[in-house]
Structure 1
Amino acid sequence: MTWQQPINPLNTIGLSLLVASIPILFIFWALIIRKMKGYQASLIATAIALVIAVTIYGMPVKLALLSVSHGVLYGLFPICWLVIMAVFLFNLTVKSGQFEIIKYVMGTITDDRRLQALLIAFSFGSFLEGTAGFGAPVAITAAMLVGLGFNPLYASGICLIANTAPVAFGSIGIPITVASQVSGIPELAISQMVGRTLPLLSVFLPFYLVSIISGVSKAREIMPALVVSGVSFALLQYLSSNFLGPSLPDVIGGLGSIVCLMGLLRVWKPKQVWRFANEPAPVVQPAGLYSTKQIIRAWSPFMVLTILIIAWGLQPVKDMLNATGMIQFEFPGLHNAILNQTGAPIAKVFKFNYLSAAGTAIFLAGLFSIPLVGLTFREGIQVFAGTLKQLRFPILTVASVLAFAYVLNDSGMTLTLADVLANTDLLFPFFAPVLGWLGVFITGSDTSANALFSKLQFATAQTIGVDPVVTVGANVSGGVVGKMISPQSIAVAAAAGNLVGQEAQLFRFTVKHSFIMLGFISLLTLAQAYVIKWIIPNYVLLIHFFTT
């Protein structure tokens, strides 16, 4: 049995657009207005999407249910696998008491919540995005900030917002690699285009983050730190993306901004330490309370994590692990059963890369850390069991969110939304980032959004006489600001920040910032297309684009 996706099932694009938008509009309504719990909103949205897919888009019930199953499976692995391992690693440091030493060390660097947010959410989060991606940065940094005493809502919210700057170059540049494969534009050209867009956002992001948590006037008090953090990251992101390619901008930018900010804090401190309202004043810790050996032991889980994440990000290591530890199979009943608009079958292959997955690297870091932090393996198993219990509702939320995303994509609803945006003619460059934003909102992944829409971005740009690298780059850049409100990302952040059941509150916290940043990137893309064309890199299309 095969079935072809329709774009305009009601033969009136306006009505088809309205119907295709219903599941997405429901998510916004459920989380912003109705304030539903995340798993409730995502389960109902999946049910609505299923009904529309079957009754309006004519998707066979069997294929619709198989699509849901495929989404659930992907939600459980690799997404939930990664989240569980990240929280497990953090819980080990708490159970062993080592996180108290980490809090002491952070306090000796700075007690100021604004500066802690810059170091952990922005700089360390960017480094983790560059090496691991797929939810690990938000999961780990949100858990760390909550452990340091941050208000859970602000900890999770600012980690989601901070994650915008590095997402395009996440996981050693995978989003741009996929955009290149789909569009036929060289990786370096897309990397250069994105690297001439996002640094403008990155340079202001530290000020934006601190203004959210403390207000503009308090942000101005630490302007030297904001300038050093933002400018160092943006400059390194620009240089590496334009001259080295998409693999290292986050790693270099994240580490560079940490070094620069810590260097500044050795010679400069804010006049007043800022903490959250009603938060007790920091306890002044005597210098030398812990020995160097104790401090290294406390940080050892994150040191091991960093080493393993870097190793797992190397392509030769990935290839070796996949050669011996990956089960790949065609999804029964779904593989090649759905035809796209050209009549070509859509492959549905599930890759169970149980060794090369980032979650496995974090799991191994946890195993190695159990004796390092002074726990027995029996205690480690107890911590793991407690972590599973802690994350039972987030696991359900993530699984149902991915089911929702897969139904929208497989039924053709996503294509309906994309087709309308692609027909905005000369205004399309303004809406090109919106397409990327929409793709990441639905799928939770900039990589997936680029796989979905890069070819559409390329073809539409050629039709209206705009350089395709502008719109393909805009798909990547627009996607990064959709990450903070993706239901999948919200579920991950809520799990790590102890906000299970409060996903609606977190969604409302981030949604306006997502639209503000999207507007900025849309206007910048419009200018790149028609006004500041000199910013566009020179490149030659890949040959395989014309021969495959």
Structure 2
Amino acid sequence: MYTPELAPLAGSLLWSSLVALLPLVTIFVTLGVLRWKAHWAGLAALVVSMLVAALAYGMPVGLVGLSATEGLAFGLFPIMWIVLNAIWLYELTVRSGRFEDLRRVIDRISDDPRVQAIIIAFCFGGLLEALAGFGAPVAITGVMLMAIGFTAMRAATVVLIANTAPVAFGAIAIPIITAGNLTGIPYEHIGAIIGHQTPFFAAVVPLFLVFLVDGKRGVKQLWPLALVVGVVFGISQFVSSNFISVELTDIIASLAGLAAAVIMLQFWKPVGGRDALENMGRERERESAENTDSSAADAGAVAVATPPRTDVRLTPGRVFMALFPYLLVIVIFSASKLVPPLSSFLAATDVKIPWPGLDGNVFTAEGELAGSTVYSFQWLSSPGTLLLITGIIVAIVYRMSLRDAASVYLTQLVKLRYSILTVAAVLALAYVMNLSGQTITIGTWIAGTGAAFAFLSPILGWLGTAVTGSDTSANALFATLQQTAGEEAGLNPALLVAANTSGGVVGKMISPQNLTIAATAVGLLGQESAIFRKVIWWSLGMLAALCLLVGLQSTVLSWMIPTL
């Protein structure tokens, strides 16, 4: 039996928190400063977390090891199961030759890469986040941007930053529903408050993407479209989360943003797209030369295929077949989430596995049995399985042989080997930190700041998502802590729970799990540290803005917060 202490080091919450932060410091230093490959950084941080759990917290060594094995299993399934099948689905379109048609369809809307970044990474990525989440949007949109001509590093950076605004309402609002179930606060109320926070980021994220693709020149030339799409997305988030449906918020916002882009492009044409394409082509050539010379290429760093451009006339049939895989993804995921009989059937197939030797032997800091020691094997309801089913149907419709489809799958499995190791290590780290009490120690320390906690509350969600790669997990860790801290400090508990969710939105881009997914998708295996250095300042900047917003919403802007 093990019950974690909040302050195991001489009763000092400060010193205990500083020690508990060591695994996170290890990840940030090894990735951002020492530039280690992600799997080594993840393994190093895992070892540090296990040492802290055993030596500082007194967790029995056997339970430390079992915690790590459960996290490792969760990293393999469902996380990497989703990523593997998402990339396999894309590769089927490449092997069949259909992705080249999709590229032409996108070019018909606009051949400007800055516009394509908005449409693919922000709008389509938001729709995938709404339906699937768990890394699928980053994997799919990352390979799509690569295939239409983006450099690997630029594609990875763009999709990670684009995958911010929709995260809170992702996977049919699972992070918000989780927070509501844990706190007893109606999840609709939490979602309504988040609808007064994340739309501010949604409004400007397309501008950020244009800047990432083409710098200041791109912003100067494309700001009308970027602003229209972002504002429409943000307003749709606000309206849906407050007046229509929290669960459908991202679906409505993504489709509205996409419609706004398509409609505006009928009347307004941006300039400078040809220059941006030429710059991208030169960058692609330099990147190809660097990859050829690097040892990373020998390690299987090129994760996805990039089809050559060919000139073929687009017919309605070819357009439909090019769009078919992604339309099928939308249909299957929508049905699995929004058709009650089907969603109930899928949920009923989940197998709950009390983790041997761990379940029943670990308590929370409040003295209750830890619920996270029961592993949920979602063999049918997992987004990864739904993507596998989608891929099988696509292979049949595209008339691919079983041999070809299986060959593509096995090739991707081999190329993903280091990514699988990284994500498994990071999730093992998260489980050790959570079950040993390290995470709750950090959270309790930050929550002890009284009224100033309103300004700091998003940091907990940011940290939780950075560690676990999931806003849902961040809410599972900190939602009740946010609620209790709010009640003790005389702050609005629902506001702080919402802030935890919104904080996770800007923390996802620096999660080692998501960094690895992005690196894998675009063929930059082993270069997660370089991607981390590109996105960390964006994450910190957005976090600072969110902290200020939440702090003001707890005081002078309290009128913005809806009441129950």
- Scaled by the length of structure 1, the TM-score of the pair is 0.95
Query: In the aligned structure 2, how far is the partner of 1:486 from the partner of 1:276?
Result: 32
Does the Cα contact within 8 Å between 2:42 and 2:422 map onto a contact in 1? yes
Give, as a single letter, the amino acid of the residue that structure 1 aligns with 2:320.
Answer: I
Query: In the aligned structure 1, how far is the partner of 2:278 from the partner of 2:142?
Result: 16
Does the Cα contact within 8 Å between 2:5 and 2:365 map onto a contact in 1? yes
Query: In the aligned structure 2, how far is the partner of 1:175 from the partner of 1:481?
Result: 14
Does the Cα contact within 8 Å between 2:151 and 2:283 map onto a contact in 1? no
Shift of 1:371: 2.5
Does the Cα contact within 8 Å between 1:38 and 1:491 map onto a contact in 2? yes
Q: Which residue of 1 aligns with 2:111?
A: 111
Inter-CA distance 426–345: structure 2 relative to 1 (3 Å threshold): same
Q: Which residue of 1 aligns with 2:520?
A: 495
Inter-CA distance 280–111: structure 2 relative to 1 (3 Å threshold): farther
Post-superposition Cα deviations, 1:33-53, rounded to whole Å, max 9, x if no partner, equal: 111111111011101111111
Partner residue of 1:395 out of 412, 420, 425: 420
Q: Which residue of 1 aligns with 2:334?
A: 310
Q: Percent identity?
A: 39
Query: In the aligned structure 1, how far is the partner of 2:350 from the partner of 2:363?
Result: 27
Query: In the aligned structure 1, how far is the partner of 2:278 from the partner of 2:50?
Result: 44
Q: Which residue of 2 aligns with 1:3?
A: 2
Shift of 1:232: 1.1
SS of the equivalent of 1:164 reads coil
Q: Are 1:277 and 2:279 counterparts?
A: yes
Give, as a single letter, the amino acid of the residue that structure 2 aligns with 1:425.
Answer: G
SS of the equivalent of 1:270 reads coil
Query: In the aligned structure 1, how far is the partner of 2:43 from the partner of 2:528?
Result: 14
Partner residue of 1:319 out of 339, 344, 350: 344
Q: Which residue of 1 aligns with 2:381?
A: 356
Give, as a single letter, the amino acid of the residue that structure 2 aligns with 1:476.
Answer: T
Greater Cα offset, 209-218 or 77-86: 209-218
Shift of 1:293: 0.7
Does the Cα contact within 8 Å between 1:123 and 1:255 map onto a contact in 2? yes
Give, as a single letter, the amino acid of the residue that structure 2 aligns with 1:37.
Answer: K
Query: In the aligned structure 2, how far is the partner of 1:517 from the partner of 1:83?
Result: 26
Does the Cα contact within 8 Å between 2:100 and 2:309 map onto a contact in 1? no
Q: Are 1:330 and 2:365 counterparts?
A: no
Q: Are 1:513 and 2:538 counterparts?
A: yes
Does the Cα contact within 8 Å between 2:426 and 2:513 map onto a contact in 1? yes
Q: Which residue of 1 aligns with 2:91?
A: 91
Q: Which residue of 2 aligns with 1:544?
A: none
Shift of 1:230: 0.6
Shift of 1:281: 12
Does the Cα contact within 8 Å between 1:437 and 1:478 map onto a contact in 2? yes
Q: Which residue of 2 aligns with 1:204?
A: 204
Greater Cα offset, 110-119 or 292-301: 292-301
Query: In the aligned structure 1, how far is the partner of 2:405 from the partner of 2:506?
Result: 37
1:372-451 equivalences in 2 (<5 Å): 372-451=397-476
SS of the equivalent of 1:134 reads coil
Shift of 1:327: 2.0
Does the Cα contact within 8 Å between 1:439 and 1:452 map onto a contact in 2? yes
- Scaled by the length of structure 2, the TM-score of the pair is 0.93
Query: In the aligned structure 2, how far is the partner of 1:115 from the partner of 1:81?
Result: 31
Shift of 1:284: 11
Shift of 1:216: 2.4
Shift of 1:68: 0.5
Post-superposition Cα deviations, 1:488-529, rounded to whole Å, max 9, x if no partner, equal: 111111111111111111111111100000000000000000
1:237-316 equivalences in 2 (<5 Å): 237-273=237-273, 274-275=276-277, 277=279, 279=281, 289-314=313-338, 315-316=340-341
Partner residue of 1:339 out of 355, 363, 372: 363
Greater Cα offset, 79-88 or 148-157: 148-157
Does the Cα contact within 8 Å between 2:88 and 2:409 map onto a contact in 1? yes
SS of the equivalent of 2:526 reads coil
Inter-CA distance 178–494: structure 2 relative to 1 (3 Å threshold): same
- Extract unaligned runs of 5+ from structure 2: 285-307
Size of the aligned set, in residue pairs, is: 536
Query: In the aligned structure 2, how far is the partner of 1:535 from the partner of 1:188?
Result: 16
Query: In the aligned structure 2, how far is the partner of 1:327 from the partner of 1:276?
Result: 52
Shift of 1:465: 1.1
Q: Which residue of 2 aligns with 1:546?
A: none
Shift of 1:296: 1.2
SS of the equivalent of 1:92 reads helix
Query: In the aligned structure 1, how far is the partner of 2:86 from the partner of 2:491?
Result: 43
Shift of 1:414: 0.6
SS of the equivalent of 1:350 reads strand
Inter-CA distance 440–268: structure 2 relative to 1 (3 Å threshold): same
Does the Cα contact within 8 Å between 2:178 and 2:475 map onto a contact in 1? yes
Greater Cα offset, 295-304 or 83-92: 295-304
Q: Which residue of 1 aligns with 2:487?
A: 462
Shift of 1:244: 2.1
Does the Cα contact within 8 Å between 1:39 and 1:394 map onto a contact in 2? yes
Shift of 1:404: 0.7
Runs of 4 or more above 3 Å deviation: 280-286
CA root-mean-square deviation: 1.6
Query: In the aligned structure 1, how far is the partner of 2:424 from the partner of 2:318?
Result: 40
Give, as a single letter, the amino acid of the residue that structure 2 aligns with 1:362.
Answer: L
Q: Which residue of 1 aligns with 2:304?
A: none
Query: In the aligned structure 2, how far is the partner of 1:346 from the partner of 1:364?
Result: 34
1:144-183 equivalences in 2 (<5 Å): 144-183=144-183
Shift of 1:372: 2.1
Shift of 1:27: 0.5
Post-superposition Cα deviations, 1:72-118, rounded to whole Å, max 9, x if no partner, equal: 11011110110000000001011111111111222222121110000
Give, as a single letter, the amino acid of the residue that structure 1 aligns with 2:252.
Answer: I
SS of the equivalent of 1:351 reads strand
Query: In the aligned structure 1, how far is the partner of 2:420 from the partner of 2:506?
Result: 24
Inter-CA distance 419–293: structure 2 relative to 1 (3 Å threshold): same
Does the Cα contact within 8 Å between 2:100 and 2:310 map onto a contact in 1? no
Does the Cα contact within 8 Å between 1:7 and 1:415 map onto a contact in 2? yes
Query: In the aligned structure 2, how far is the partner of 1:130 from the partner of 1:281?
Result: 32
